[in-house]
Structure 1
Amino acid sequence: MEDDGAKSSPAVHPALAPLSYLLGSWKGEGEVGFPTINSFSYGEQLQFSHSGKPVMAYTQKTWKLNSGEPMHAESGYWRPKPDGTIEVVIAQSTGLVEVQKGTYNAEEKVIKLQTELVGNATKVKEITRVFKLVDGELSYEVQMATNQNSLQPHLKASLKRL
Structure 2
Amino acid sequence: MEGGGPPIHPFISPLTYLLGTWRGEGEGGFPTINSFKYGEEIKFWHTGKPVISYTQKTWKLESGEPMHAESGYWRPKPDGSIEVVIAQSTGLVEVQKGSYNADNKIVKLKSDMVGNASKVKEITRVFELINGELSYVVQMATHLNSLQPHLRALLRKL
Report the TM range for the smaller structure's normalisation: over 0.9
- The TM-score with structure 1 as length reference comes to 0.96
- The TM-score with structure 2 as length reference comes to 0.98
2:142 match: 146
Matched, 1:110 2:121: no
Q: Which runs of 4+ in 1 moved over 3 A?
A: none
Q: Which residue among 61, 70, 73 is the counterpart of 2:57?
A: 61
2:37 match: 41
By how many angstroms is 1:8 displaced? 1.3
CA deviations over 1:42-80 (Å, ceiling 9, x no partner): 000000000000000000000000000000000000000
Cα separation, 2, equivalents of 1:88 and 1:12: 18
Cα separation, 1, equivalents of 2:11 and 2:64: 37
By how many angstroms is 1:14 displaced? 0.7
CA deviations over 1:124-143 (Å, ceiling 9, x no partner): 00000000001100000000
Count of residues in correspondence between the two structures: 158
Unaligned stretches of 5+ residues in structure 1: none
Matched, 1:84 2:54: no
What's the Cα RMSD here?
Answer: 1.2
Q: Which amino acid in structure 2 is aligned with residue 109 of structure 1?
A: K
Unaligned stretches of 5+ residues in structure 2: none
CA deviations over 1:89-126 (Å, ceiling 9, x no partner): 00000000000000000000000000000000000000
